[in-house]
Amino acid sequence: MNYIRVRKNNLCIERITAQKLIKTYKTPFYCYSLSQLRNNFYKFKNDFKKIKPIICFSVKSNANLAILKELKRLGSGADVVSIGELLKAKKAGIPSNKIVFSGVGKTEEEIVAAIKNKVLLINIESDSEALLINKILKKMSKKISVGIRLNPNITGQTHKKISTGGKDEKFGLAINDCINLCRKIKKMKNMKLEGLSVHIGSQITNVGPFKKVLFILNKIIKKTKINFKFIDLGGGMGISYKEKENQLNLKEYSKAVKNFTKKRNFKIIFEPGRFIVANTAILITKIIYIKKSANKNFIVLDAGMNDLMRPALYDAKHQILPIKKNKKLIKGNFEFVGPICESSDKFLNKKNFPKIIEGDFVGITHVGAYGMTLSSNYNMRPTVAEIMVYGSTHKQIRKRQTLENLIKN
Protein backbone atom coordinates (compact mmCIF):
# COMPACT_ATOMS: atom_id res chain seq x y z
CA MET A 1 0.00 0.00 0.00
CA ASN A 2 1.19 3.54 -0.80
CA TYR A 3 0.62 6.05 1.97
CA ILE A 4 1.97 8.96 -0.10
CA ARG A 5 -0.38 9.43 -3.02
CA VAL A 6 -2.62 11.84 -4.94
CA ARG A 7 -6.19 11.85 -3.64
CA LYS A 8 -8.88 14.09 -5.16
CA ASN A 9 -6.15 16.07 -6.97
CA ASN A 10 -4.28 16.70 -3.68
CA LEU A 11 -0.92 15.20 -2.82
CA CYS A 12 -1.43 13.50 0.55
CA ILE A 13 0.84 11.98 3.15
CA GLU A 14 -1.44 9.53 4.91
CA ARG A 15 -4.53 11.61 5.84
CA ILE A 16 -2.86 15.03 5.63
CA THR A 17 -2.57 17.11 2.48
CA ALA A 18 0.81 18.55 1.59
CA GLN A 19 -1.07 21.85 1.22
CA LYS A 20 -1.76 21.80 4.96
CA LEU A 21 1.84 21.01 5.88
CA ILE A 22 3.32 23.94 3.93
CA LYS A 23 1.25 26.28 6.09
CA THR A 24 3.18 25.03 9.13
CA TYR A 25 6.67 24.23 7.84
CA LYS A 26 9.04 26.27 5.69
CA THR A 27 10.05 24.67 2.41
CA PRO A 28 11.98 22.73 1.46
CA PHE A 29 11.40 19.94 3.97
CA TYR A 30 11.39 16.15 4.07
CA CYS A 31 8.10 14.54 5.04
CA TYR A 32 7.83 10.89 6.13
CA SER A 33 4.93 8.49 6.50
CA LEU A 34 5.19 6.43 9.68
CA SER A 35 2.61 3.95 8.39
CA GLN A 36 4.65 3.40 5.22
CA LEU A 37 7.77 2.75 7.29
CA ARG A 38 5.98 0.15 9.38
CA ASN A 39 4.35 -1.42 6.34
CA ASN A 40 7.70 -1.76 4.54
CA PHE A 41 9.39 -3.37 7.53
CA TYR A 42 6.55 -5.84 8.06
CA LYS A 43 6.57 -6.73 4.34
CA PHE A 44 10.31 -7.38 4.38
CA LYS A 45 10.04 -9.49 7.51
CA ASN A 46 7.05 -11.42 6.16
CA ASP A 47 8.66 -12.15 2.77
CA PHE A 48 11.63 -13.73 4.57
CA LYS A 49 9.61 -15.36 7.38
CA LYS A 50 10.77 -18.89 6.48
CA ILE A 51 14.39 -17.80 7.01
CA LYS A 52 13.88 -15.69 10.14
CA PRO A 53 16.91 -13.47 9.43
CA ILE A 54 18.52 -10.89 11.66
CA ILE A 55 17.50 -7.59 10.06
CA CYS A 56 20.18 -4.91 10.48
CA PHE A 57 18.89 -1.66 9.00
CA SER A 58 21.51 0.23 6.99
CA VAL A 59 21.99 3.42 9.00
CA LYS A 60 23.82 5.08 6.10
CA SER A 61 20.53 5.20 4.19
CA ASN A 62 18.74 7.23 6.87
CA ALA A 63 20.14 8.18 10.26
CA ASN A 64 17.22 10.16 11.68
CA LEU A 65 16.92 9.25 15.36
CA ALA A 66 13.11 9.03 15.33
CA ILE A 67 13.24 6.57 12.42
CA LEU A 68 15.94 4.47 14.08
CA LYS A 69 13.94 4.36 17.31
CA GLU A 70 10.85 3.18 15.44
CA LEU A 71 12.81 0.49 13.61
CA LYS A 72 14.30 -0.64 16.92
CA ARG A 73 10.77 -0.91 18.30
CA LEU A 74 9.83 -3.06 15.30
CA GLY A 75 12.74 -5.40 16.07
CA SER A 76 15.45 -4.15 13.73
CA GLY A 77 19.15 -4.13 14.37
CA ALA A 78 21.67 -1.86 12.62
CA ASP A 79 24.38 -2.06 9.99
CA VAL A 80 26.90 0.71 10.75
CA VAL A 81 30.05 1.88 8.95
CA SER A 82 31.41 4.59 11.28
CA ILE A 83 31.67 5.47 14.94
CA GLY A 84 29.01 8.13 14.39
CA GLU A 85 26.54 5.58 13.04
CA LEU A 86 27.39 3.20 15.89
CA LEU A 87 26.70 5.86 18.52
CA LYS A 88 23.48 6.88 16.74
CA ALA A 89 22.27 3.26 16.70
CA LYS A 90 23.08 2.90 20.39
CA LYS A 91 21.31 6.20 21.16
CA ALA A 92 18.23 4.81 19.41
CA GLY A 93 18.33 1.88 21.82
CA ILE A 94 19.42 -0.80 19.35
CA PRO A 95 21.15 -3.58 21.30
CA SER A 96 24.79 -4.36 20.55
CA ASN A 97 23.99 -7.98 19.68
CA LYS A 98 22.02 -6.67 16.70
CA ILE A 99 24.71 -4.32 15.38
CA VAL A 100 27.10 -5.26 12.57
CA PHE A 101 30.10 -2.98 11.97
CA SER A 102 31.18 -2.94 8.32
CA GLY A 103 33.22 -0.58 6.16
CA VAL A 104 36.45 -0.72 4.19
CA GLY A 105 38.39 1.87 6.20
CA LYS A 106 37.76 1.39 9.93
CA THR A 107 40.06 3.51 12.09
CA GLU A 108 41.65 2.29 15.30
CA GLU A 109 39.23 4.49 17.26
CA GLU A 110 36.27 2.86 15.51
CA ILE A 111 37.58 -0.66 16.08
CA VAL A 112 38.05 0.07 19.79
CA ALA A 113 34.50 1.47 19.99
CA ALA A 114 33.09 -1.63 18.26
CA ILE A 115 34.95 -3.90 20.69
CA LYS A 116 33.88 -1.92 23.78
CA ASN A 117 30.27 -1.93 22.62
CA LYS A 118 30.42 -5.71 22.01
CA VAL A 119 28.84 -5.57 18.56
CA LEU A 120 27.56 -8.77 16.99
CA LEU A 121 30.19 -8.80 14.23
CA ILE A 122 33.03 -6.72 12.85
CA ASN A 123 33.22 -7.48 9.13
CA ILE A 124 36.88 -7.49 8.08
CA GLU A 125 37.84 -6.28 4.59
CA SER A 126 41.63 -6.85 4.41
CA ASP A 127 44.59 -8.72 5.90
CA SER A 128 45.88 -5.45 7.35
CA GLU A 129 42.59 -4.80 9.11
CA ALA A 130 42.62 -8.31 10.58
CA LEU A 131 46.12 -7.76 11.98
CA LEU A 132 45.17 -4.40 13.46
CA ILE A 133 42.01 -5.78 15.11
CA ASN A 134 43.99 -8.69 16.56
CA LYS A 135 46.67 -6.30 17.88
CA ILE A 136 44.04 -4.10 19.54
CA LEU A 137 42.27 -7.12 21.05
CA LYS A 138 45.53 -8.40 22.56
CA LYS A 139 46.22 -4.99 24.07
CA MET A 140 42.69 -4.85 25.52
CA SER A 141 42.73 -8.54 26.56
CA LYS A 142 39.45 -9.01 24.71
CA LYS A 143 37.96 -11.52 22.31
CA ILE A 144 35.34 -10.66 19.70
CA SER A 145 33.37 -12.26 16.86
CA VAL A 146 34.37 -11.24 13.34
CA GLY A 147 33.30 -11.88 9.79
CA ILE A 148 35.16 -11.61 6.50
CA ARG A 149 33.74 -9.67 3.59
CA LEU A 150 33.96 -11.46 0.28
CA ASN A 151 34.31 -9.72 -3.06
CA PRO A 152 32.71 -12.32 -5.38
CA ASN A 153 33.49 -10.45 -8.62
CA ILE A 154 29.78 -10.17 -9.39
CA THR A 155 28.27 -6.90 -10.51
CA GLY A 156 24.75 -6.16 -9.38
CA GLN A 157 23.56 -4.93 -12.80
CA THR A 158 23.13 -1.49 -11.27
CA HIS A 159 24.65 1.98 -11.68
CA LYS A 160 28.46 1.77 -11.67
CA LYS A 161 28.72 4.25 -8.79
CA ILE A 162 26.72 1.98 -6.47
CA SER A 163 28.17 -1.35 -7.63
CA THR A 164 30.44 -2.88 -4.97
CA GLY A 165 30.95 -6.54 -5.94
CA GLY A 166 33.26 -6.32 -8.98
CA LYS A 167 36.93 -7.29 -8.90
CA ASP A 168 38.04 -3.69 -9.42
CA GLU A 169 36.03 -2.34 -6.50
CA LYS A 170 37.67 -1.48 -3.17
CA PHE A 171 35.30 -3.64 -1.13
CA GLY A 172 36.01 -7.07 0.36
CA LEU A 173 38.49 -9.79 -0.55
CA ALA A 174 38.77 -11.87 -3.72
CA ILE A 175 37.71 -15.50 -3.35
CA ASN A 176 41.18 -17.02 -2.81
CA ASP A 177 42.27 -14.15 -0.55
CA CYS A 178 39.10 -14.60 1.48
CA ILE A 179 39.76 -18.31 1.92
CA ASN A 180 43.39 -17.65 2.95
CA LEU A 181 42.35 -15.01 5.49
CA CYS A 182 39.78 -17.41 6.93
CA ARG A 183 42.61 -19.85 7.66
CA LYS A 184 44.82 -17.12 9.18
CA ILE A 185 42.09 -15.81 11.49
CA LYS A 186 41.31 -19.31 12.73
CA LYS A 187 44.82 -19.27 14.22
CA MET A 188 44.36 -15.89 15.95
CA LYS A 189 43.33 -16.47 19.55
CA ASN A 190 41.61 -13.14 20.13
CA MET A 191 39.17 -13.42 17.24
CA LYS A 192 36.31 -15.83 16.71
CA LEU A 193 35.66 -16.24 12.99
CA GLU A 194 31.89 -16.57 12.93
CA GLY A 195 30.73 -14.72 9.83
CA LEU A 196 31.03 -14.56 6.08
CA SER A 197 29.77 -11.33 4.55
CA VAL A 198 29.00 -10.07 1.05
CA HIS A 199 27.40 -6.98 -0.48
CA ILE A 200 27.48 -6.51 -4.25
CA GLY A 201 25.79 -3.14 -4.67
CA SER A 202 22.68 -1.05 -4.24
CA GLN A 203 19.35 -0.75 -6.08
CA ILE A 204 19.53 -4.26 -7.58
CA THR A 205 16.20 -5.28 -9.13
CA ASN A 206 17.16 -8.65 -10.64
CA VAL A 207 17.49 -11.68 -8.38
CA GLY A 208 20.05 -13.27 -10.74
CA PRO A 209 23.18 -11.62 -9.23
CA PHE A 210 22.08 -12.62 -5.72
CA LYS A 211 21.71 -16.26 -6.83
CA LYS A 212 25.25 -16.17 -8.24
CA VAL A 213 26.50 -14.87 -4.88
CA LEU A 214 24.82 -17.74 -3.04
CA PHE A 215 26.53 -20.22 -5.39
CA ILE A 216 29.98 -18.76 -4.63
CA LEU A 217 29.31 -18.62 -0.88
CA ASN A 218 28.37 -22.29 -1.01
CA LYS A 219 31.73 -23.12 -2.66
CA ILE A 220 33.69 -21.17 -0.02
CA ILE A 221 31.84 -22.82 2.87
CA LYS A 222 32.62 -26.26 1.44
CA LYS A 223 36.25 -25.41 0.72
CA THR A 224 37.06 -23.85 4.11
CA LYS A 225 35.02 -26.45 6.05
CA ILE A 226 34.21 -23.71 8.57
CA ASN A 227 30.91 -23.87 10.42
CA PHE A 228 30.03 -20.21 10.11
CA LYS A 229 27.49 -18.94 12.62
CA PHE A 230 26.38 -16.03 10.43
CA ILE A 231 26.10 -15.42 6.70
CA ASP A 232 25.66 -11.70 6.10
CA LEU A 233 24.07 -11.18 2.67
CA GLY A 234 24.13 -7.39 2.93
CA GLY A 235 21.44 -5.27 1.33
CA GLY A 236 21.07 -3.85 -2.16
CA MET A 237 17.43 -4.85 -2.73
CA GLY A 238 16.07 -2.51 -5.36
CA ILE A 239 12.74 -0.70 -5.42
CA SER A 240 10.58 0.91 -8.07
CA TYR A 241 11.12 4.68 -8.29
CA LYS A 242 8.42 5.13 -10.91
CA GLU A 243 5.45 3.32 -12.41
CA LYS A 244 6.21 0.22 -14.50
CA GLU A 245 9.77 0.05 -13.13
CA ASN A 246 10.97 -3.30 -11.81
CA GLN A 247 11.34 -3.98 -8.11
CA LEU A 248 13.29 -6.90 -6.67
CA ASN A 249 11.08 -9.94 -6.16
CA LEU A 250 11.71 -10.61 -2.48
CA LYS A 251 9.77 -13.87 -2.46
CA GLU A 252 11.92 -15.30 -5.25
CA TYR A 253 15.07 -14.15 -3.44
CA SER A 254 13.75 -15.64 -0.19
CA LYS A 255 13.20 -19.00 -1.89
CA ALA A 256 16.79 -19.00 -3.18
CA VAL A 257 18.16 -18.17 0.29
CA LYS A 258 15.97 -20.86 1.87
CA ASN A 259 17.46 -23.48 -0.49
CA PHE A 260 20.95 -22.17 0.33
CA THR A 261 20.37 -22.65 4.08
CA LYS A 262 19.08 -26.23 3.83
CA LYS A 263 20.75 -28.61 6.31
CA ARG A 264 22.85 -25.75 7.67
CA ASN A 265 22.72 -24.09 11.09
CA PHE A 266 23.96 -20.59 10.32
CA LYS A 267 21.84 -17.47 10.77
CA ILE A 268 21.22 -15.14 7.83
CA ILE A 269 21.81 -11.39 8.27
CA PHE A 270 20.28 -8.82 5.93
CA GLU A 271 21.20 -5.12 5.80
CA PRO A 272 18.26 -3.44 4.02
CA GLY A 273 18.11 0.34 3.80
CA ARG A 274 16.47 1.60 0.62
CA PHE A 275 13.83 -1.17 0.67
CA ILE A 276 12.71 -0.05 4.13
CA VAL A 277 12.78 3.76 3.86
CA ALA A 278 12.99 5.01 0.26
CA ASN A 279 9.27 5.36 -0.45
CA THR A 280 8.46 6.60 3.06
CA ALA A 281 9.37 10.21 2.27
CA ILE A 282 8.76 13.09 -0.07
CA LEU A 283 10.72 16.33 -0.41
CA ILE A 284 8.28 19.24 -0.56
CA THR A 285 9.66 22.26 -2.36
CA LYS A 286 8.47 25.59 -3.76
CA ILE A 287 8.69 26.81 -7.36
CA ILE A 288 10.65 30.06 -7.15
CA TYR A 289 10.84 30.87 -10.85
CA ILE A 290 9.77 29.52 -14.21
CA LYS A 291 12.45 30.45 -16.70
CA LYS A 292 11.76 29.92 -20.38
CA SER A 293 14.50 29.19 -22.92
CA ALA A 294 14.46 28.25 -26.59
CA ASN A 295 14.14 24.51 -25.96
CA LYS A 296 12.73 24.06 -22.47
CA ASN A 297 11.13 25.56 -19.40
CA PHE A 298 13.38 25.64 -16.33
CA ILE A 299 11.35 25.10 -13.16
CA VAL A 300 13.59 26.59 -10.47
CA LEU A 301 12.91 25.10 -7.01
CA ASP A 302 13.98 26.20 -3.54
CA ALA A 303 15.42 22.68 -3.00
CA GLY A 304 18.81 21.92 -4.52
CA MET A 305 21.40 19.21 -4.86
CA ASN A 306 22.56 20.11 -1.36
CA ASP A 307 19.19 18.79 -0.11
CA LEU A 308 18.91 15.80 -2.47
CA MET A 309 22.21 14.69 -3.98
CA ARG A 310 21.15 11.43 -5.67
CA PRO A 311 20.23 12.85 -9.11
CA ALA A 312 23.52 14.76 -9.39
CA LEU A 313 25.62 11.98 -7.86
CA TYR A 314 24.42 9.02 -9.91
CA ASP A 315 21.74 10.13 -12.32
CA ALA A 316 18.89 8.97 -10.09
CA LYS A 317 15.38 9.71 -11.34
CA HIS A 318 12.73 10.75 -8.80
CA GLN A 319 9.19 11.47 -9.88
CA ILE A 320 7.87 14.98 -9.23
CA LEU A 321 4.23 15.67 -8.44
CA PRO A 322 2.33 18.96 -8.00
CA ILE A 323 0.86 19.17 -4.51
CA LYS A 324 -2.35 20.49 -6.04
CA LYS A 325 -2.94 18.84 -9.40
CA ASN A 326 -4.33 21.02 -12.17
CA LYS A 327 -6.33 19.04 -14.71
CA LYS A 328 -4.97 21.24 -17.50
CA LEU A 329 -1.81 19.73 -19.05
CA ILE A 330 0.86 22.10 -20.37
CA LYS A 331 2.78 20.69 -23.32
CA GLY A 332 6.50 21.23 -23.67
CA ASN A 333 9.84 20.27 -22.12
CA PHE A 334 10.26 20.96 -18.42
CA GLU A 335 13.49 20.69 -16.45
CA PHE A 336 13.21 20.85 -12.66
CA VAL A 337 16.36 22.42 -11.25
CA GLY A 338 17.65 23.78 -7.97
CA PRO A 339 19.31 27.10 -7.01
CA ILE A 340 22.84 25.72 -6.58
CA CYS A 341 25.66 27.07 -8.75
CA GLU A 342 26.31 23.78 -10.52
CA SER A 343 25.06 22.58 -13.91
CA SER A 344 24.39 19.17 -12.33
CA ASP A 345 21.87 20.71 -9.92
CA LYS A 346 18.83 19.27 -11.65
CA PHE A 347 16.23 16.72 -10.63
CA LEU A 348 14.16 15.67 -13.62
CA ASN A 349 13.40 16.34 -17.27
CA LYS A 350 9.72 15.97 -17.99
CA LYS A 351 7.75 16.19 -21.21
CA ASN A 352 4.38 17.83 -20.51
CA PHE A 353 3.27 18.61 -16.96
CA PRO A 354 0.09 19.74 -15.15
CA LYS A 355 -0.24 23.52 -15.21
CA ILE A 356 2.00 25.21 -12.61
CA ILE A 357 2.92 28.80 -11.83
CA GLU A 358 5.57 30.53 -9.75
CA GLY A 359 4.77 30.12 -6.06
CA ASP A 360 3.24 26.65 -6.49
CA PHE A 361 4.64 23.65 -4.66
CA VAL A 362 5.74 20.19 -5.82
CA GLY A 363 6.84 16.99 -4.12
CA ILE A 364 9.90 14.94 -5.10
CA THR A 365 9.06 11.32 -4.33
CA HIS A 366 10.91 8.29 -2.87
CA VAL A 367 13.57 10.33 -1.06
CA GLY A 368 13.64 8.48 2.28
CA ALA A 369 16.89 6.66 1.50
CA TYR A 370 20.14 8.53 0.83
CA GLY A 371 18.26 11.82 0.88
CA MET A 372 18.88 13.66 4.12
CA THR A 373 21.99 11.57 4.91
CA LEU A 374 23.69 12.86 1.75
CA SER A 375 22.65 16.49 2.27
CA SER A 376 25.16 19.26 2.87
CA ASN A 377 25.62 22.99 3.44
CA TYR A 378 26.98 23.57 -0.06
CA ASN A 379 26.51 27.19 -1.16
CA MET A 380 26.07 27.88 2.58
CA ARG A 381 22.49 26.69 2.68
CA PRO A 382 20.96 25.36 5.92
CA THR A 383 19.99 21.69 6.16
CA VAL A 384 16.22 21.31 6.00
CA ALA A 385 13.62 20.09 8.47
CA GLU A 386 12.25 16.56 8.63
CA ILE A 387 8.58 15.94 9.44
CA MET A 388 6.81 12.71 10.42
CA VAL A 389 3.14 12.11 9.60
CA TYR A 390 0.99 9.47 11.21
CA GLY A 391 -2.67 9.39 10.23
CA SER A 392 -3.89 12.96 10.58
CA THR A 393 -1.10 14.07 12.95
CA HIS A 394 2.33 15.49 12.18
CA LYS A 395 5.44 16.46 14.12
CA GLN A 396 8.92 17.75 13.44
CA ILE A 397 11.59 15.06 13.95
CA ARG A 398 14.52 17.24 12.96
CA LYS A 399 14.63 21.03 13.02
CA ARG A 400 15.72 23.15 10.11
CA GLN A 401 19.25 24.44 10.68
CA THR A 402 19.32 28.10 11.68
CA LEU A 403 21.40 30.65 9.82
CA GLU A 404 23.11 31.49 13.12
CA ASN A 405 24.22 27.87 13.49
CA LEU A 406 25.25 27.73 9.84
CA ILE A 407 27.67 30.67 10.03
CA LYS A 408 29.04 30.26 13.57
CA ASN A 409 32.34 28.60 12.52
* Catalytic choice (31, 178, 182, 341): 341
Does the active-site annotation cover 56? no
Contact 39, 292 (CB under 8 A): no
Alpha carbons 394 and 88: distance in angstroms, whole number: 23
HSE-CB of 298 using CA atoms within 13 angstroms:
15
DSSP string, 274-320: HHHHGGGEEEEEEEEEEEE-SS-EEEEES--TTT--HHHHH-----E
DSSP string, 151-162: --S---SS-GGG
Residues shown for the chain: 409
Contact 205, 198 (CB under 8 A): no
What are phi and psi for residue 76, nearest 5 degrees? -80, 150
Alpha carbons 327 and 316: distance in angstroms, whole number: 28
Of 281, 275, 220, nearest to 253 by C-alpha is 275
HSE-CB of 47 using CA atoms within 13 angstroms:
20
Residues acting as catalytic residues: 341
